[in-house]
Amino acid sequence: MHAEDRRHRALEIIRMSGGFASLPQLATELGVSESTIRRDLDVLEESGVARRTHGGVFYVGGGPQLPVFELREPEQWAKKRAIAQTAAQLIKNGDTVLFDGGSTTYELARLLVGRPLQVVTNSLPVANLFAANAYADLNLIGGFVYPRTGVALGPHAVEMISQLNVRCSVLSVAGITERGFYNSNLFLTEAEKAMIHAADQVIVVADSTKFGRQSLSMLCDWSAVHTIVVDDGLSREWQERIRQLETNLILATPDQPSTAATSAVNQ
């Protein structure tokens, strides 16, 4: 079996095994050594469809083919990955976490596959990550699905969210100013406002290009957000402003996720 065919077969085994397969299982079913499987898994992980963990691998999907994801610059994706790696350290096993449908939120969700969580989301791409994951309980919010993002919006979504209680809501935004946080869709901000009210803590994940920008609809002021995770490209002027606003700021450094979460400007 050629390497590419073997990797496709390995991915199918992982998916058919409930989203997780062990190294011995893959080696046995494919008739190759565990060292060969490890090399194959490195390739699959690099492509973004699987994530290695101790003793095996999780299926995390092939990534959503939606305009909101496709139109991002590679430079911004590096920032989003660093932000996601840092934000993942704020989520504890057993947490109930509510995700919106932003691209940075999706990157964070990918990193949480395989952890014991109670996941709530109105995002079909995020839900797809956890649908075959036996380690997480998935609760999907319904409503009108906005085709550009694959997110359920509208009055039905808002009503469902308003009945929830979660430890934290993780939100993406389109713009941030001294007044507060913005998004580009009126229905989206209505759903996110309900997410804010449903949560004990609100975490915003946003890259530094969002600062100093407004968008169509204001989501909330700074008092509604407990923590914001942003890449270390954020200007010192903005860092000082956030200190004065008394919101917890965590800077994420690309390629150094293990230390980023300890660099909180405000605790």
Residue 16 has pLDDT above 50, yes or no: yes
More confident residue, 61 or 157: 157
Q: List the chain domain ranges.
A: 3-59, 67-260
Quick one: which H or E segment has residue 178? Answer: none
Q: Which long-range contacts (CB under 8 A, 24 or more apart) does 259-264 make?
A: 260/82, 260/85, 260/86, 260/232, 261/86, 261/89, 261/90, 263/232
Report the candidate in 261, 101, 120, 242 with the shortest Cα–Cα distance to residue 172.
Answer: 101
How many angstroms separate the CA atoms of 40 and 42, rounded? Answer: 5
For 34, other C-beta atoms within 10 Å of its C-beta total 13
Which contiguous run of DSSP H or E holds residue 34? Answer: helix 34-47
What's domain 3-59's architecture?
Orthogonal Bundle (1.10)
On whether the 67-260 domain is CATH 3.40.50.2030, my answer is no
What token pair was written down for 203?
A: 């975490």
Q: What is the pLDDT of residues 28-44, one digit of tens each?
A: 989 999 899 989 888 88
Each residue's pLDDT tens digit, 69-104: 544 455 577 788 899 999 999 999 999 999 999 889
Look at residue 49 and tell me whether its pLDDT is greater than 60. yes
Lowest mean pLDDT among 51-60, 112-121, 199-208: 51-60
Which of 263, 259, 202 is CA-nearest to residue 85? 259
- Report the candidate in 36, 14, 15 with the shortest Cα–Cα distance to residue 25: 14
